[in-house]
Structure 1
Amino acid sequence: MDKGMRVLVIDDEPQIRKLLKVSLGAHGYEIDESTTGVDGINRVAAFKPDLLIIDLGLPDMDGKDVVKTIREWSQTPIIVLTARDQEQEKIEALDAGADDYVTKPFSVGELMARMRVSLRRSAATEHEPVITCGGLVVDLVQRRVTVDGREVKLTPTEYELIKILAQHRGRVLTHKQLLKAVWGAAYNEDTHYIRVYIGQLRRKLEENPTQPRYIITESGVGYRLMDH
């Protein structure tokens, strides 16, 4: 585990802060906490955390605005906490620059798994020439994709889509983020493109496209390439 990693929790609920302090502290994380967005933003500069956990429902300002403000000068991984029915909130937080989200009530195990993915991604170089996710291998230099050693022929658009998912493996990407990365900003409302191409990719990459192992649907939000 990432011993000594510093985590800043920005949340006004005392029971959540206590839960995180005790459970993450037991795994060797160093925890600091803030109860407001303004204080949290200031603490980022002072505490220099390795990862941030931000509740979207803060008393003084919108959690999405906290994410946006921090993203202006910091690439520290951010996980947001959301209520179960806040689908649009999740999407806007991810589009604002959050790395991932966990829905309340959450299990500490799930949160820590998300944290490990985010920390691993920030520690890895952005330009790995070969990305491996279980049996799926994406070779960025040769633009070659294999599954369990078998080469898969992809169209240029299919390749761009699996490439962006692989570069952010383990992290959910919104429809808007995928459209912008693959098709350009002008297409950010055309979500049917993504559904069509994800369907094509699953038929080529998955053993059983109806029960995908690799490309997971995050209902109403986007897609995540599982970091096996």
Structure 2
Amino acid sequence: MARVLIVDDDKNIREFIRLVLEEEGYATVESTDGRDALRKIKEHPCDIAVVDVMMPYMDGISLTKEIRDIYNIPIIILTARGQIEDKELAYTAGTDDYLVKPFEAKELIFRIKALLRRYGTGEEEAPVRLGNVLLYQQNYSIKIGSKTVKLPLKEFELLYLLGKNPERVFTREQLIEDIWGLDFEGDNRTVDVHIKRLRERFRQLSVPARIHTVRGVGYSLEVDE
């Protein structure tokens, strides 16, 4: 499993992130500031860095620049501030993603997994099977026999989540949170539109599964036997 560098001068934040990551099976390396982090990552190569902005000796923006110059790993910036100027500064420095404190543990995990997939450093998961159809999370594709079909990112993530949890009913709110994230500014109709597209793809590709509408609640997927 991937190793995550956690850089934050707040002991409670570091411990919270470490416990969350260890529950998911990740290895961790902790550091209290930017200068110490550069020493730690040299001794213990990491696959991704989670970096706080405000730290003594070397702040998170400066550390991000240093990491980006030396290592080809994804970086997530953590900050208590959410102004657009701070985001611009972080992305200019080379960060890949940005989370404002306080944040949900679940969202941090989603973002870490997404970045590891993008960089090709995450461990490949076994494909999800829907009858004779295989869903490959690594490249957002589905395979039917010898035919491989690429799906748009959000369509695939929605199908993968439903396919990994057959017959489980997801509310629209759960799907929005899991697929689009807590900061999504659209509405629940986005889910309905993507479900409609998936159903059409099921018909076109003869996928042996059905997405059921649970009236007043949300959606579930059932695989045909």
User: 1:135, CA displacement in angstroms?
Assistant: 4.4
Match of 1:113 among 110, 113, 121: 110
Residue aligning to 2:166? none
Q: Distance in 1 between the 2:116 and 2:155 partners?
A: 22
- 1:61 pairs, out of 55, 58, 63, with 58
Quote the residue 2:42 is aligned against: 45
Unaligned runs of 5+ in 2: 122-137, 142-149, 157-179, 181-188, 195-225
For residues 50 and 135 of structure 1, what CA distance do their matches in structure 2 show? Answer: 27
Aligned Cα root-mean-square deviation (Å): 3.2
1:55-77 CA-to-partner distances (Å, cap 9, x unmatched) read 01111122111000111121111
Contact in 2 for aligned 1:10/1:35 (Cα 8 Å):
yes
Letter in 1 for 2:153: C
Q: Give the whole-Å Cα distance in 2 for the aligned partners of 1:8 and 1:135.
A: 31
Larger radius of gyration: 2
Using a 3 Å threshold, how does the CA distance of structure 1 residues 112 and 45 change in structure 2: closer, same or farther? same
Q: Where do 1:71-220 residues align within 5 Å?
A: 71-123=68-120, 132-135=152-155
1:117-157 CA distances to partner (integer Å, 9 max, x unpaired)? 1111000899x9x6732449xxxxxxxxxxxxxxxxxxxxx
Q: 1:38 to 1:131 in 2, by over 3 A?
A: farther
Q: In the TM superposition, what is the alpha-carbon distance from 1:23 to its structure 2 partner?
A: 1.4
Residues 33, 59 of structure 2: 8 Å contact kept? no
CA distance in 2: counterparts of 1:24 and 1:58, whole angstroms: 22
Unaligned ranges ≥5, structure 1: 137-169, 171-207, 214-228
Would you say the 8 A contact 1:82–1:90 is kept in 2?
no
Give the SS at the match of 2:70.
coil
Cα gap change, 1:58 to 1:86, in 2 (>3 Å):
farther
SS in 2 for 1:85: coil
Distance 1:134 1:103 in 2: 23
Find the aligned partners of 1:105 and 1:34 in 2 and give their Cα distance. 20
What percentage of aligned pairs have identical amino acids? 35
Paired residues, what number?
Answer: 142
Task: Provide the residue aligned with 1:35 in structure 2.
Answer: 32
Q: Deviations over 1:83-128 (max 9, x none)?
A: 13343122111121111011100110011111111111000899x9
Corresponding residue for 1:147?
Answer: none
TM-score by length of 1: 0.54
Q: What is the rounded CA distance, in whole Å, between the counterparts of 1:86 and 1:31 in structure 2? A: 29
Q: Distance in 1 between matches of 2:45 and 2:7?
A: 14
| Letter in structure 1 aligned against 2:73 | T
